[in-house]
Amino acid sequence: MLPLDFIDYMRSTLGEEAESLFRALEQEPVTSIRLNDKIDTLTFSCDIDEVPWHYDGYYLSERPRFTLDPLFHAGCYYVQEASSMFLQQVLDEYVPRDAIVLDLCAAPGGKSTILSQHLADEGLLISNEVVRQRVFILSENIQKWGNGNVVVTHNKPSDFGDGCRYLFDCILVDAPCSGEGMFRKDPAARSEWSLDNVEMCAERQKSILEDVWDALKPGGVLIYSTCTFNKKENEDNVRWMTEYFGADILPLTTEPEWKIKNTPLGCHFYPHLTRGEGFFIAALRKPDTNFTPFRIRTSKKQDTTIKADLEPMLQWLKEPQQWEIKQSDRFMTAYPARHKPLIDFITGFLTCISVGFGLGELRGKNIAPQHSLSMSKALNPAAFPQFALTEEQALAFLRTEALLPPDGMPMGTVLLTYDGVPLGFAKNVGNRLNNLYPNEWRIRKL
């Protein structure tokens, strides 16, 4: 049952068309995935259609049990709502690949995986989540996706506005909202909806935007999105940004057959028109005035860690010269060398959950590879003996079950693969296999 105030409100905005929306909201949600460029092709045992606005987006006619697919855990694809993949179109139109980008409200990370892939080897993404319980799933999804160009942070929007003035070329605010567009996917969104809650969300969105606005460079692009339909959280907030900040709305390009409602204040996705959930997105440019660019302050903190010999780890990477390796306690992390000064500043100033990807861990005199290296696109797989697992073995590995080394597995540290894709590391010690899959990521239920 849809909330009655919602029905009245939508009738007053959409007129007769609202009835088609209500019918669409009673249907099953659409399942869609976005392929990672880690792999070329993927097969599913159901019908597949292309998402028209994303070159790696696909609709699936059925919802498979993704948990049972080792390739899902290997980060080969992300299960993502199709409408939100439209972010890619906005990035292609307005955000260069060498941009420094902040994804302010990032968990669980769907849009951050689009951003990190867009920026690839050139730009840098700060992927932030303010809610503590949600930041670890964000970091997990970022590591599985495998681009090393991401710093995951856990900060308040005002930490960026106060401390990173004029740093970012682009900020994505995928705002917490009243979730009307999620009514058929998430029953809690219906039960929690009220006109008061819409009001509260709209005010909170403004306060988030106000807190972070100073972090955007003059001339930079702010992308604002919600998964709700109402004007208060969408058009009114976009208009408010033009009045309050003097921002200019950027036109977004859509094709008529996509049936996206492209208005002067942003694009609406309605489930009775487009195949996906409800979504709104707008892009605005900050006025380009004279400004003092962001200056990186170097940290004076003394590094007292006993340094490991980094040399052996360089062969684990495809292009070692691209990576700066930093040791913190027992752990070695790799992050893009071209962004070293900025990343060093960020790690000294913000609460960082992960930086680039974990490369190795000092264990006695040896260095063991970390799991996130196996997920990374920077991995040189030829640096490790490899062993291909069957589906059954792969699922046992992902459940972190005690395993006996299968016949033919080399001794020592082995890169386990499934369908040609790295799944993680294990150490074959002869009579048993030490499973190096992160315990906190293990499959709990089958």
Of 173 and 403, the one with the shorter C-beta distance to ligand SAM is 173
Of 6 and 86, the one with the shorter C-beta distance to ligand SAM is 86
157 in contact with ligand SAM (CB under 6 A):
yes
- Assess whether 227 carries a catalytic annotation: yes
Of 159 and 344, the one with the shorter C-beta distance to ligand SAM is 159
- By CB under 6 A, the count of residues binding ligand SAM is 16
Task: Candidates 18, 130, 313, 350: give the one binding ligand SAM (CB under 6 A).
Answer: 130
Catalytic residue among 170, 227, 267, 352: 227
105 in contact with ligand SAM (CB under 6 A):
yes
161 in contact with ligand SAM (CB under 6 A):
no
Contact characters 361-390, ligand SAM, x per CB under 6 A? ------------------------------
174 in contact with ligand SAM (CB under 6 A):
yes
- The window from 88-96, 126-134, 244-252, 343-351 that contacts ligand SAM (CB under 6 A) reads 126-134
Task: Candidates 129, 159, 233, 235: give the one binding ligand SAM (CB under 6 A).
Answer: 129
Residue nearest to ligand SAM (CB): 105
106 in contact with ligand SAM (CB under 6 A):
yes
Instruction: Give the number of other CB atoms < 10 A from CB of residue 357.
Output: 26
Of 111 and 377, the one with the shorter C-beta distance to ligand SAM is 111
Q: How far is the CB of 419 from ligand SAM (least distance, A)?
A: 26
Please state, in angstroms and rounded to a whole number, the distance separating the CA atoms of residues 345 and 153: 13
202 in contact with ligand SAM (CB under 6 A):
no
Task: Candidates 57, 110, 278, 358: give the one binding ligand SAM (CB under 6 A).
Answer: 110
189 in contact with ligand SAM (CB under 6 A):
no
131 in contact with ligand SAM (CB under 6 A):
yes
Catalytic residues: 227
The contact set with ligand SAM (CB under 6 A) reads 105-111, 129-131, 134, 157, 174, 176, 204, 208
